[in-house]
Amino acid sequence: MIYTSTRGNAPTLTFKEALIAGLATDGGLYVPEVWPSFSREEIAGFRGKPYAQVAFQVIVKFVDGEIADNALRTMINEAYDTFHHPAVVPLVQLGPNDWLLELFHGPTLAFKDVAMQILARLMDHVLTESGKRLTIVGATSGDTGGAALEAFKTCEGIDTFFMYPHGKVSDFQRRQMTTVGAENCHAIAVDGSFDDCQTMVKSMFAHDTFRDTVQLSAVNSINWGRIMAQVVYYFTAAASLGTPSQKVSFTVPTGNFGDIYAGFVAKQMGLPIERLVIATNENDILARTVASGEHKLGAAKPTITPSMDIQISSNFERLLFEASGRDANAVSTLMGDLKEGGKYTLPAEVQTFIAESFDAGSANETETLAEIQRLYQASGYLCDPHTAVALCVSRQHANPNVPMITLSTAHPAKFPVAVHDAVGKTPNPPEWADIAEDRPEVVTRLKNDQGVVEEFILNASRLGSGRNT
Ligand SMILES: *Cc1c(COP(=O)(O)O)cnc(C)c1O
């Protein structure tokens, strides 16, 4: 399978190359040149299968022979063995045709584990084969950093650095990043916003000497491997509810647009999805874009759902690529407008294409807390605030004849303050969770300055400091 950049000015890559590269050198994102697909019979066959088996069937289409089947199967089995639920991602029924897909049974209690656990194994495998090393630099609004540092801590050939906005992640999220206790894993607290952190990562990719010295790679959801792994649960959840004879809809708490874009990919591969509903918090740029065609950046506002406090949703570019008929020039123009003027306007046909699959809505802080409370009173179920945002929005788009599956992206114990504000009760983490209360925090606080952060990474990484040359 060949992977191509959404901006058309970077070399096409193989699966392994795209996995290691992360971001394309032209600033674009890699996507498969053609969508693999499943027949209705194949999709029906997913019903009742163990998660890891379906994961293999989906992922093997994107790997396309570049990794031996046996090795791939082993990595997938190991990745999902780290989950503390036999269904890996269980469905919970909340009401008639109203379902919650719990994606938080992995080691760091957020859905990011689903992709990160397999991505780390795939990258380690590819690097070991080639005898190379690399340095991962990422930006996190809270959950990606913890999931990545946890997943990559045992990868010999990889140094991992994660920047997060200082003071803007929950204590639980921060502790997950600062108590990993591995020499190759580094947490950086930046005096800035998540968007500042993400912009720095992108600029580092454009900085040739730095990029080449540390062999820079990315595992944010711009990495195709992340998207690929997330496609799987759209298939397993829909199959459980009777797809393909029954269509289903999904509502997804959205930040960087990676998770819901994976649902769009599942649809491209043949999964009969009725609607994909984008749920945002008060940082509702995507909901406004879908409604008006106008994509206009504002300042990211901190909320009780920090993983969605995003203005620049990187993966939206992948949807724009598809919606513009895979026209890389059109995408480059829109991205140029965004960079220069902080906004772009969707061409009419692009807006129409998006409206064919997507709906969008947002929930404010009051609605989010009320939703946590409503659900708790109705059924005794405690959900995290990100999930609550999505549940609020899913209700606005409910169709009594189509099962609505809302993605639950974090365990409520990751956001105890918001949950306590809503119901006066602090959710307990599961007994198996490693909350590391006895381990000291290790973190470096740095200015929101690319030069300063690059200097730190050069000194602290094995490739940058020359310790390995
Ligand atoms: C990352 C995250 C999201 C947003 O997912 P995207 O793929 O960035 O849209 C939502 N909820 C939680 C809890 C997250 O960690």
Nearest-angstrom CA–CA distance, 402 and 100: 14
In a domain, 96, yes or no: yes
In a domain, 343, yes or no: yes
The preferred substitution site among 254, 313, 393, 406 for testing ligand 1, maximizing ligand atoms within 8 Å of CB, is 254
**Global pTM value:** 0.94
Q: Which atom of ligand 1 is nearest to the CA of 221?
A: 7
Mean pLDDT of 44-66: 98
Pair type for strands 216-217 and 294-296: unpaired
**What is the residue with the minimal CA distance to atom 8 of ligand 1?**
256
Q: Which domain holds residue 98?
A: 91-110+224-423
The more confidently predicted of residues 299 and 413 is 413
Find how far residue 389's CA is from the centre of its chain.
17
Q: Which atom of ligand 1 is nearest to the CA of 253?
A: 10
In a domain, 231, yes or no: yes
Q: Which atom of ligand 1 is nearest to the CA of 254?
A: 9
Return the SS3 of 186.
strand
**What is the residue with the minimal CA distance to atom 15 of ligand 1?**
143
**What is the residue with the minimal CA distance to atom 11 of ligand 1?**
409
pLDDT digits (tens, 9 = 90+) for 106-122: 999 999 999 999 999 99
Q: Which atom of ligand 1 is nearest to the CA of 142?
A: 15
Q: Where are the beta strands (DSSP E) in 35-88?
A: none
In a domain, 19, yes or no: no
In a domain, 352, yes or no: yes
Distances (CA, A) of 442 to 161, 175, 177, 178, 181: 12, 9, 9, 5, 8
CA of 442 to the centre of ligand 1 (A): 25
CA of 32 to the centre of ligand 1 (A): 23
Q: Which of 76, 62, 79 is nearest to 225 (CA)?
A: 62
425 annotated active-site: no
**What is the residue with the minimal CA distance to atom 1 of ligand 1?**
307
> Is the dihedral angle over the CA atoms 74, 116, 213, 313 positive or is it negative?
positive
CA of 466 to the centre of ligand 1 (A): 36
151-190 as b/e, with b when 16 or more CB fall inside 10 Å? bbbebebbbbbbbbbbebbbebbbbbbbbbeeebbbbbbb
In a domain, 31, yes or no: no
Q: Which of 212, 149, 155 is nearest to 21 (CA)?
A: 212
Distances (CA, A) of 125 to 75, 133, 157, 158: 9, 11, 10, 11
Nearest-angstrom CA–CA distance, 69 and 65: 7
At 435, the pLDDT band (50, 70, 90 cuts) reads low
CA of 143 to the centre of ligand 1 (A): 8
The preferred substitution site among 116, 409, 415 for testing ligand 1, maximizing ligand atoms within 8 Å of CB, is 409
Q: Which of 292, 283, 108 is nearest to 195 (CA)?
A: 283
Q: Is the peptide bond before 165 cis (omega within 30 degrees of 0)?
A: no
Mean pLDDT of 331-347: 95
Order the strands of the 91-95 sheet from edge to edge.
Answer: 91-95, 98-102, 404-408, 248-253, 273-280, 358-362
**What is the residue with the minimal CA distance to atom 14 of ligand 1?**
307
Contacts of 8 (CB under 8 A, 6+ apart): 26, 28, 328, 329, 331, 332
Pair type for strands 91-95 and 98-102: antiparallel
Mean pLDDT of 5-12: 96
At 142, the pLDDT band (50, 70, 90 cuts) reads confident
Mean pLDDT of 5-27: 93
Q: Which atom of ligand 1 is nearest to the CA of 141?
A: 1
Q: Which of 255, 261, 252, 257 is nearest to 283 (CA)?
A: 255
Q: To the nearest whole number, what is the mean pLDDT of the chain?
A: 94
Model pLDDT, residue 433 = 84
Mean pLDDT of 122-134: 94
Q: Decide: 89 and 101 in contact? Cβ < 8 Å.
A: yes
In a domain, 466, yes or no: no
CA of 350 to the centre of ligand 1 (A): 25
- Res. 170: pLDDT tops 90: no
| CATH number for position 239 | 3.40.50.1100
Tokens of 147: 């999931």
The preferred substitution site among 281, 308, 387 for testing ligand 1, maximizing ligand atoms within 8 Å of CB, is 308
CA of 410 to the centre of ligand 1 (A): 8
Q: Which of 276, 264, 325, 235 is nearest to 38 (CA)?
A: 235
The DSSP annotation for 298-326 comes to: -PPPP-S-GGG--S--TTHHHHHHHHTTS
Model pLDDT, residue 191 = 97
In a domain, 315, yes or no: yes
Model pLDDT, residue 437 = 72
- Res. 426: pLDDT tops 70: yes
CA of 169 to the centre of ligand 1 (A): 13
Domain count, the chain: 1
At 90, the pLDDT band (50, 70, 90 cuts) reads very high
Model pLDDT, residue 469 = 44
CA of 123 to the centre of ligand 1 (A): 22
Nearest-angstrom CA–CA distance, 102 and 178: 26
Residues near ligand 1 with C-beta < 6 Å?
110, 112, 143, 221, 253-259, 307-308, 386, 409-410
Model pLDDT, residue 141 = 80
**What is the residue with the minimal CA distance to atom 2 of ligand 1?**
307
Residues 16, 112, 168, 202: which is the catalytic one?
112
Q: What percentage of the chain reaches a pLDDT higher than 70?
A: 99
